[in-house]
Amino acid sequence: MSAAESARPSGPDPGRMAAVIHLSEDRRPRRHRRERTTVPPQPDGPLTTEQRLAARLERAFADHHLSLTDDDTRLAYKVTIGEVRTLMDGAHGVGDLSDEAHQLMDSMLEGILRAADQLP
């Protein structure tokens, strides 16, 4: 159905509403997550800034039974950070974010993208 089409059917009973699929909590398909509550083993010795950030991110994801070591989760994370960068670029483009602030925030976002790649 295009956006221009009516949701009401035409025909013998035009007052009848079109069928709608109800998406209650009971009917929505569930995505099964791997039950994970622990952080993977951390590297031995002193950690780089990116390794410390990666460990912090992984702990945050593990709190939600997710892991950035999962390919789908890592991809969703990277897509999300990419969209945040797009929004930030837009704010900079219309003058809501200074050049200095944009550069600083962009480098921070680049760092958290690289940090995710520190995980196995």
- Spell out the per-residue pLDDT of the chain, length 120, in tens: 555 555 555 555 555 555 665 565 555 455 555 555 555 666 667 888 888 898 899 999 999 999 999 999 999 999 999 999 999 999 999 999 999 999 999 999 999 999 888 887
Residue 98's identity, in one-letter code, is S
pTM over 0.75: no
Please check whether residue 19 lies inside any domain of the structure.
yes
Domain that holds residue 16: 7-120
User: Rounded to whole angstroms, how far apart are CA atoms 88 and 119?
Assistant: 26
User: Rounded to whole angstroms, how far apart are CA atoms 103 and 59?
Assistant: 27
Please check whether residue 96 lies inside any domain of the structure.
yes
Alpha-carbon torsion angle 73, 79, 81, 83, nearest 10: -150
Please check whether residue 2 lies inside any domain of the structure.
no
- Domain tally for the chain? 1
Please check whether residue 38 lies inside any domain of the structure.
yes
Using left for φ > 0, alpha for ψ between -120 and 50, and beta otherwise, residue 47 falls in beta
Please check whether residue 67 lies inside any domain of the structure.
yes
Please check whether residue 61 lies inside any domain of the structure.
yes
Please check whether residue 1 lies inside any domain of the structure.
no
